């Protein structure tokens, strides 16, 4: 949390209420969350603001983004990882990333995404 606040501050961004709320949600739920999921947890912030905050965090490289069912899912960046998501209930767990980036001669800022899906034990009962 402190690192992230430092990063924001160093880049000249204030911790506004929407930023603080969104950050709080991301910190306390390490699952991949969609804008809807995040918005649902903070009624006091309108959806457009949630979008703006997430776009900013994306620009600053604070969040990890994955696409699932045409929705962008966000979580805070820590060690490189991916998520495995239950197709039935949306439960998710972190999977460490073991992919080593090659040198891409013709590309810069290379990122990759991978979302694993399955059915969790709870849903399989």
- Binding residues for Fe cation, by number, are 100, 112
**CA proximity to 33, closest of 115, 113, 90, 111:** 90
Smallest gap, in angstroms, from Cβ of residue 113 to Zn ion? Answer: 8
**CA proximity to 8, closest of 80, 74, 62:** 62
* Contact indicator for 66, 50 with CB cutoff of 8 Å: no
Residues tagged in the binding site annotation? 86, 89, 100, 112, 120, 123
Per-residue mark of binding to Zn ion, 34-73 (x: CB under 5 A): ----------------------------------------
**Cα dihedral across residues 47, 64, 29, 56: positive or negative:** negative
Smallest gap, in angstroms, from Cβ of residue 96 to Zn ion? Answer: 9
Under rule CB under 5 A, residue 104 binds Zn ion: no
Residue choice 15, 48, 116, 123 for contact with Zn ion (CB under 5 A): 123
* Contact indicator for 95, 116 with CB cutoff of 8 Å: yes
Residue choice 16, 51, 91, 93 for contact with Zn ion (CB under 5 A): 91
* Contact indicator for 92, 32 with CB cutoff of 8 Å: yes
Residue choice 61, 97, 116, 117 for contact with Zn ion (CB under 5 A): 97
């Amino acid at each position: 949390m402190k690192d992230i606040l430092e990063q924001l501050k160093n880049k000249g961004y204030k911790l506004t209420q929407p930023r603080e709320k969104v950050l709080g949600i991301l910190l306390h739920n390490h699952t991949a969350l969609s804008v809807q999921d995040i918005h649902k947890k903070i009624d006091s912030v309108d959806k457009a603001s949630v979008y703006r905050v997430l776009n900013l965090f994306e620009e600053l490289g604070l969040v990890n983004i994955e696409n699932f069912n045409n929705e962008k899912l966000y979580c805070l960046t820590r060690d490189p990882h991916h998520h495995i998501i239950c197709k039935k209930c949306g439960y998710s767990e972190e999977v460490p990333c073991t992919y080593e980036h090659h040198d891409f001669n013709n590309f810069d800022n290379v990122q990759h995404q991978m979302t694993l899906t399955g059915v969790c034990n709870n849903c399989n009962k």
